[in-house]
């Protein structure tokens, strides 16, 4: 295949012509391809575009010459490159996915256009059982996917939601993703609008019917109403829907269970001592509790910020730690530390009783507490409090995590509404603590995996200074697949590697470790960088796992002042001398793990004396807001300013990060002494 001219050697449907594009084909296959109503392209095994049809040009605005030779997965948005390469790899293996993916492709004008991508193998004319390349069809997103997007946007605004669709022609009501727990509780086996309306509170039925009538006129829908569930309990619901026209008009939307919220609002409204401003404060603090990210934030909210709501004078939280109930640190000044003087799990004391039966305890006076728990008589002499609330902090499945203690210096009667609110807040706190503990465990595991998989600091080379940096993404702590390595080779040669495994998580880190070890193994007995890259690629494709990685492998011959590079989609090398910089782009092949037969050419050049070179993953120089050319220019100037010291240069680049920190970043800076 000639990438510069777009010829089609050995491709079926070319009518024996090996140097004519599809638009000039006079055989039936070529004519069908050219005039197909759907955008289509033909690519070789490496993913390079050979042919495109008229519909492709009309859809995206690219001329055939503009895309000829480009890797077709790279036409898509950066975040979808990996999924597009996955479709290419599947097509080469003849494996079709259960559902074709919906990906965003960039038009010639720079706009993003969502399409359904269908990649299929193209048989070779030489042998029917061989695959010469792939045929890719780009279809507009279907109506169902547009509907799903609308529902998803609505769904994300609330929790505890059922997703529904109402056929306005037949009156049939169904769940988009069901049956959900909320759907089963509300409707059971009911599948029509009338069957569901039969369960609606009679005072709300007429209003619901009036709102539905407007929907038949093409309007959206939004209603709050009461409905009786399968066991006869009244539920407060909030339903929203968007009108979708067509031959069979529909309403698609979400319904949220607002019962707990409504009941809480009612209880708050009945509390005469709490003003409307305090009610808003409850909501704000509850939101803080839900979004808390540390144990200290949760306990500080319970021990300090929630205290004014109940008029308390002191509060603290005791949490279970390896079967021991321990007083957790808090910024509350007047902490009831007298409770530290006994075994908290002893049922002779209120905290132990609460832990045992998970029931709150409220005491309006010292005599009431002493009458129920005589063991506290001695400790009561050392506290000025007169009333207490001992509330269990529990998470999912009512697992008790600790006890929240609120104290008043004057006799205090906790109303039913106050007690219910305390239980609600304690439940939210328990869920927050469980979430924090899970996140902490995941972070500890992730940190261990990251330290295990990332290589240590590079070895000291007498003839070469090397500095490395790894920066995790700030978009969320994730184990990622970026890696670097420096390898001593026979003679005066040193190998440098930087790569980026597609995806995030423990699997990406494991793949990163596998690739790094493969590089070391093959580099030890292969002198040609292209062979090392090809063997690593073959190893990945033969494992049967869908793992893709961009890699750059560079070998420095210190004695000869030469560098050789084999490249698989990594950003170019930046060379700086202190008086200027240049960007060197080695000839590249496809990412490793895509095509087992891929070859990786070797590019060579001299290394000017006093040069400092930079290899990096694309997270340093490219993002959705920064194109690679601008990113390379920024790091080139910074590298040139710090070229004499690789460690200062690496630190400066880690601080600069021109593309931001939305992706993880690997940096390797080297300089011949």
Q: pTM higher than 0.75, yes or no? A: no
Q: 478's torsion region: left (phi>0), alpha (psi -120 to 50) or beta? A: beta
Instruction: Compute the distance between CA of residue 389 and CA of residue 552 in angstroms, rounded to an integer.
Output: 63
**Given this model, what pLDDT does residue 552 score?**
95
* Helix and strand counts by DSSP (H, E) for the chain: 20, 25
**Given this model, what pLDDT does residue 501 score?**
84
Contact 155, 180 (CB under 8 A): no
On the question of a cis peptide bond just before residue 179, with omega within 30 degrees of 0, the verdict is yes
Burial status of residue 224 (CB atoms within 10 A of its CB: 0-12, 13-18, 19 or more): middle
**Given this model, what pLDDT does residue 71 score?**
95
Instruction: Compute the distance between CA of residue 247 and CA of residue 352 in angstroms, rounded to an integer.
Output: 65
* Chain-centre distance for alpha carbon 38: 32
The neighbouring-strand residues paired with 118 are 137
According to DSSP, the β-strands at 161-167 and 173-175 are antiparallel
**Given this model, what pLDDT does residue 6 score?**
40
Contact 163, 151 (CB under 8 A): yes
Q: How many CB atoms lie within 10 A of CB 448?
A: 11
Tell me how many degrees the CA angle 140-71-486 measures, rounded to the nearest 5. Answer: 130
Burial status of residue 525 (CB atoms within 10 A of its CB: 0-12, 13-18, 19 or more): exposed
pLDDT, averaged per 10 consecutive residues of the chain (673 residues), comes to 40 37 56 89 94 92 92 91 90 77 87 88 80 90 63 57 82 74 78 86 91 84 90 89 81 87 77 60 78 83 84 86 73 51 72 88 90 84 86 82 90 88 87 83 64 72 92 63 88 92 68 80 90 91 78 94 95 94 95 91 92 95 93 96 94 93 90 90
Instruction: Compute the distance between CA of residue 643 and CA of residue 649 in angstroms, rounded to an integer.
Output: 6
pLDDT, tens digit, 9 for 90 and up, residues 163-203? 788 888 888 888 766 667 787 788 777 778 888 888 899 99
**Given this model, what pLDDT does residue 186 score?**
81
Q: Give the chain's mean pLDDT.
A: 82
* Chain-centre distance for alpha carbon 358: 36
**Given this model, what pLDDT does residue 169 score?**
82
**Given this model, what pLDDT does residue 62 score?**
92
**Given this model, what pLDDT does residue 25 score?**
42
| Helical ranges in 415-553 per DSSP H | 416-453, 506-525, 529-542
Helix (H, G, I), strand (E, B) or coil at 45: coil
Instruction: Compute the distance between CA of residue 81 and CA of residue 90 in angstroms, rounded to an integer.
Output: 14
Q: Give the H or E element holding residue 197.
A: helix 193-197
On the question of a cis peptide bond just before residue 52, with omega within 30 degrees of 0, the verdict is no
The DSSP call for residue 328 is P
pLDDT, tens digit, 9 for 90 and up, residues 373-426? 888 887 787 788 889 999 999 887 777 888 999 999 888 898 888 888 888 888
CA distances from 141 to 103, 115, 136, 137 (A): 9, 5, 15, 12
**Given this model, what pLDDT does residue 21 score?**
39
Of 489, 491, 509, which is closest to residue 499 (Cα–Cα)? 509
Instruction: Compute the distance between CA of residue 402 and CA of residue 450 in angstroms, rounded to an integer.
Output: 33
Tell me how many degrees the CA angle 539-545-548 measures, rounded to the nearest 5. Answer: 75
Burial status of residue 23 (CB atoms within 10 A of its CB: 0-12, 13-18, 19 or more): middle
């Amino acid at each position: 295949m000639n990438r510069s001219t777009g010829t089609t050697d050995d491709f079926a449907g070319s009518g024996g012509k090996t140097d004519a594009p599809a638009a000039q084909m006079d055989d039936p296959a070529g004519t069908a391809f050219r005039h197909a109503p759907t955008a289509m392209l033909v690519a070789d095994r490496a993913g390079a575009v050979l042919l495109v049809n008229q519909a492709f040009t009309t859809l995206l605005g690219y001329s055939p010459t503009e895309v000829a030779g480009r890797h077709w997965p790279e036409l898509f948005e950066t975040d979808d490159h990996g999924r597009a390469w996955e479709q290419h790899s599947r097509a080469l293996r003849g494996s079709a996915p259960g559902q074709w993916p919906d990906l965003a492709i960039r038009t010639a004008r720079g706009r993003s256009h969502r399409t359904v991508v269908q990649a299929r193998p193209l048989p070779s004319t030489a042998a029917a059982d061989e695959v010469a390349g792939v045929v890719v069809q780009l279809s507009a997103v279907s109506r169902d996917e547009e509907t799903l997007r609308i529902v998803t946007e609505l769904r994300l605004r609330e929790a505890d939601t059922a997703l529904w669709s109402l056929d306005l022609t037949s009156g049939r009501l169904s769940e988009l993703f069901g049956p959900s727990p909320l759907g089963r509780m509300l409707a059971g086996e009911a599948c029509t609008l009338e069957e569901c309306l039969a369960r609606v509170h009679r005072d709300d039925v007429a209003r619901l019917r009036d709102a539905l009538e407007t929907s038949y006129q093409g309007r959206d829908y939004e209603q709050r109403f009461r409905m009786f569930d399968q066991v006869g309990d009244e539920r407060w619901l909030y339903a929203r829907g968007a009108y979708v026209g067509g031959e069979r008009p529909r309403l698609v939307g979400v319904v949220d269970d607002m019962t707990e919220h409504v009941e809480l609002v009612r209880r708050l409204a009945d509390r005469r001592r709490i003003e409307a401003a305090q009610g808003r404060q409850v909501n704000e603090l509850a939101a803080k509790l839900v979004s808390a990210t540390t144990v200290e934030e949760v306990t500080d909210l319970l021990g300090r910020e929630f205290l004014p709501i109940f008029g308390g004078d002191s509060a603290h939280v005791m949490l279970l730690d390896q079967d021991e109930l321990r007083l957790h640190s808090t910024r509350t000044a007047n902490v009831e530390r007298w409770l530290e003087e006994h075994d908290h799990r002893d049922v002779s004391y209120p905290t132990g009783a609460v832990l045992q039966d998970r029931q709150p305890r409220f005491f309006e006076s010292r005599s009431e507490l002493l009458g129920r728990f005589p063991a506290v008589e001695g400790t009561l002499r050392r506290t000025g409090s007169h009333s207490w609330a001992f509330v269990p902090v529990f998470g999912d499945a009512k697992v008790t995590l600790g006890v929240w203690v609120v104290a008043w210096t004057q006799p205090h009667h906790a109303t039913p509404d106050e007690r219910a609110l305390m239980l609600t807040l304690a439940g939210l706190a328990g869920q927050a603590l469980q979430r924090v503990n899970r996140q902490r465990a995941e972070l500890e595991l992730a940190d261990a995996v990251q330290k295990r998989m990332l290589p240590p600091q590079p070895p000291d080379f007498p003839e070469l200074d090397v500095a490395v940096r790894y920066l995790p993404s700030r978009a969320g702590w994730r184990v990622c697949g970026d890696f670097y390595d420096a390898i001593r080779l026979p003679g005066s040669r040193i190998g440098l590697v930087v790569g980026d495994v597609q995806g995030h998580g423990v699997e990406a880190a494991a793949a990163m470790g596998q690739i790094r070890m493969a590089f070391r193994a093959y580099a030890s007995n292969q002198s040609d960088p292209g062979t090392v890259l090809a063997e690593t690629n073959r190893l990945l494709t033969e494992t049967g796992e869908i793992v893709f990685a961009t890699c750059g492998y560079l070998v420095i011959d210190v004695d000869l002042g030469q560098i050789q590079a084999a490249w698989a989609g990594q950003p170019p090398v930046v060379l700086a001398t202190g008086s200027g910089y240049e960007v060197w782009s080695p000839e590249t092949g496809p990412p490793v793990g895509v095509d087992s037969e891929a070859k990786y050419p070797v590019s060579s050049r001299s290394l000017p004396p006093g040069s400092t070179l930079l290899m990096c993953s694309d997270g340093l120089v490219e993002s959705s807001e920064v194109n690679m050319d601008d990113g390379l220019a920024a790091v080139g100037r910074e590298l040139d300013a710090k070229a004499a010291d690789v460690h200062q240069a690496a630190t400066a680049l880690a601080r600069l990060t021109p593309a931001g920190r939305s992706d993880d970043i690997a940096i390797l800076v080297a300089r011949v002494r």
